[in-house]
A and B are shown apart, each in its own frame.
Chain A
């Protein structure tokens, strides 16, 4: 962090400088939607003084498609192809949550092998999304080599998905009742080959990025989240775990087959940008070991799908439920309400970036250099499509 001489800057009252826009000391700029330094399509309206940010306002809504209204007008089975497009880098969490909410309200029990395949799908998707985040984080500080490496290796995982489900990015694989197709022949060997490649590149990235003097100098002390801020703002995921709190949806309230696998809480000591990257690194190694456990423990044969009633006339009795899953960014939630007809009454999606990008970012970004703003945004892992659906 650069030490600036603040003697010429405006005085502070209660820790906040009094902002008088006419005095000519402040400048309002837009780090707008068309900018290589924002994660996705959202905008920040910054007020800067010299080189430091004084105030910030987040603008979202550039990707609003009105999903919740669309889902109310389609039958239950017509909803599952569109649900995965709510979150672009990690679509499987959405498919799983919609399927399991409908199964719970409709009283359907999923067979064993389908549960194992779903867990494998979720963990592979988490690994791919973490790789993309590490690439973005390094790219925000100017280290473009790591971006090239990690996005190439995410491509190998997308190849596995294409073999399993038919699509690279949007899979539409988990539907109410199980999964859509069985695993292909010889899949375990290919998964093992990809995992070996990923381990090698992760150790390379560790040498290049985490022991780098420039990265350490810029990322340490950037955007510190203290433990008492965590509940006041509703911070979830690796952002909260890096502050020392032991919170993980897979271990607290286990779903699918996570109750039978060996997981640990991965925590840090102080939640700044450097520690969050360390926590995400160790989570990637943990994901690799979870995938290996799944491939060993999965039963060889079994049905992958259970028959649901006729999808054109499937009516679900009235009720409501809230299901959660641990996505890469934190706690992802679906609140589904049905009313006895053949269409859902209300589906509300809770993305973890909703709190991180608006309430938390506006308070963390004060007194940060303007060159470090993209680094802060990617270290919180904000992703606009899940804020505004």
Chain B
């Protein structure tokens, strides 16, 4: 019964695009990826944890403490972490601080363009409950109502050493197999999409930006 219901809703409406362009964009739902057998999955998790590539998108204040991470004082390349310019080639999305409404639309677009498995690291106290901009008309309060988050790093701004500690925690969780953010996003797609559309009123993208 559940499978029948799902197969009916596999095509997305894409109502906000003009009629003559709808065939150019993706209209399939995101599917949760399969989890393979125990030993294969352990090996794959080890490989993923030791080659985290972060997306080069400085969304807010957090970008200022990402630059020292790339220099030799707090070297992050020795952990296998490199910065990539395109979402198709990156695994980790670091959200640095507050997100305004205009940036949230681009965060959603970039997040949906990344390939499975993908992880999200939220930096600073503005992502947890709004921080010091809690009563601002243009910043959102809780980022985990819009995209799934794996690790939070507190501070304002957190030192590069706490960033490395947070990345270490992320690696531990990947090895234990607990970071299934992409599957969670695919399963609760309607709830996330409803929250996003409530905030982003100027939606001129397809419903799922693959």
Contact = CB atoms under 8 A, between A and B. Distances in A.
A168 B157 contact: yes
A75 to B, nearest CB: 14
A311 interface: no
Given A40-B63, A41-B59, A32 B106 contact: yes
B133 A65 contact: yes
B61 interface: yes
Contacts of B137: 66, 69
Interface in A142-192: 148, 151-152, 155, 168-170
Given A69-B136, A152-B73, A155-B68, A34 B159 contact: no
B71 A65 contact: no
A155 B56 contact: no
A158 to B, nearest CB: 8
Contacts of A168: 65, 157, 159
Interface string B156-191: 110100000000000000000000000000000000
Nearest to A35: B85
Given A40-B63, A63-B103, A169 B71 contact: no
A152 B72 contact: yes
Which size class do B's interface residues fall under? 35 or more
A34 B110 contact: yes
B157 A170 contact: yes
B133 A62 contact: no
B133 A34 contact: no
A166 to B, nearest CB: 12
Interface in A328-346: none
Nearest to A37: B85
B197 interface: no
Contacts, number: 81
B55 A62 contact: no
A198 to B, nearest CB: 15
A88 interface: yes
A303 interface: no
B13 interface: no
A33 B55 CA distance: 12
A61 interface: yes
A66 B135 CA distance: 9
B103 A155 contact: no
Interface string B122-161: 0000000000110111110000000000000000110100
Contact of A73 (B55, B72, B132, B135): B135
Interface in A71-86: 73, 81-82, 85
Interface residues of A, number: 29
Contact of B57 (A34, A81, A85): A34
Contacts of B103: 33, 41, 62-63
A149 B132 CA distance: 34
A65 B139 contact: yes
B58 A41 contact: yes
Contact of A148 (B71, B133, B157): B71
Contacts of B136: 65-66, 69-70
**Residue among A36, A63, A66, A88 facing the most chain B CB atoms (10 A cut-off):** A63
Nearest to A385: B61
B138 A64 contact: yes
Contacts of A221: none
A63 B60 contact: yes
Contact of A169 (B64, B98, B100, B110): B64
B135 to A, nearest CB: 7
Residue with the highest number of chain A CB atoms closer than 10 Å, among B63, B85, B102, B156: B102
Contacts of B110: 34
Given A40-B58, A41-B58, A169-B65, A65 B102 contact: no
A89 interface: yes
Contact of A151 (B71, B102, B138): B71
Interface of A: 32-36, 40-41, 61-66, 69-70, 73, 81-82, 85, 88-89, 132, 148, 151-152, 155, 168-170
4 tightest A-B CB contacts, nearest first: A34-B57, A66-B136, A62-B103, A152-B71
20 contacts: A32-B106, A34-B55, A34-B56, A35-B85, A41-B63, A62-B103, A63-B100, A64-B100, A65-B138, A66-B136, A66-B139, A70-B133, A70-B136, A85-B61, A88-B64, A89-B64, A151-B68, A151-B71, A168-B65, A170-B156
Given A152-B68, A169-B64, 20 more contacts: A33-B57, A34-B55, A34-B56, A34-B106, A36-B56, A40-B58, A41-B63, A41-B103, A61-B100, A62-B102, A63-B60, A63-B103, A64-B100, A66-B133, A82-B132, A85-B132, A148-B70, A151-B71, A155-B71, A169-B157
Interface of B: 55-61, 63-65, 67-68, 70-73, 83, 85, 87, 98, 100, 102-103, 106, 110, 132-133, 135-139, 156-157, 159
